[in-house]
Amino acid sequence: MCRAWSCLLGLVCGALVGCVTPDRAVVTDVEVDGWACGASLCYANDDEQSLRTMTLFVRVDDRFLEDTLTVRIETRTPDSLRTTEWHRMRFQGEPAPASLHRVIRVPYRRSVRFAARGNYHFRITPTRTVAGIEAVGLQISNE
């Protein structure tokens, strides 16, 4: 199942290469009945100078009952450098009406500079299986 999402990610990543907006988001669907495997995201960077703010976000349905979730974030840069870190997502907010799905945003990093042009690959993996998350993504905005 996870490999099928990786193929879809390649198509989405290719479509994003041509975008040139100050705010960009990369997102992928996850297994809503129980997200357990890593979600792969690809960010095509074309600006080595600007400082950016990175925000993690999840789209959830009414089965989502968590107040925190720790995820492992693996990053691979265009020159193949790799890093792995843990990030604890804290969820707050009011439930949405039954017909709407909530998007919960969680601050991740500020004042980030992507030092090289090319594709930055992120893999976000929960430390435990969690139900009710439909999609996970990363919003990257100019400061």
Q: What is the mean pLDDT of each run of 10 residues along the chain (143 residues)?
A: 51 47 87 94 94 95 90 96 94 62 90 95 96 96 92
CA-CA distance, 125 to 38, in Å (whole number)?
A: 4
pTM attached to this predicted model: 0.79
Would you say 31 and 99 are in contact if contact means Cβ atoms under 8 Å apart?
no
Nearest to 137 by CA among 21, 35, 1: 35
User: In the numeric block, which tokens belong to residue 47?
Assistant: 């600006």
CA-CA distance, 104 to 77, in Å (whole number)?
A: 26
User: In the numeric block, which tokens belong to residue 43?
Assistant: 């960010």
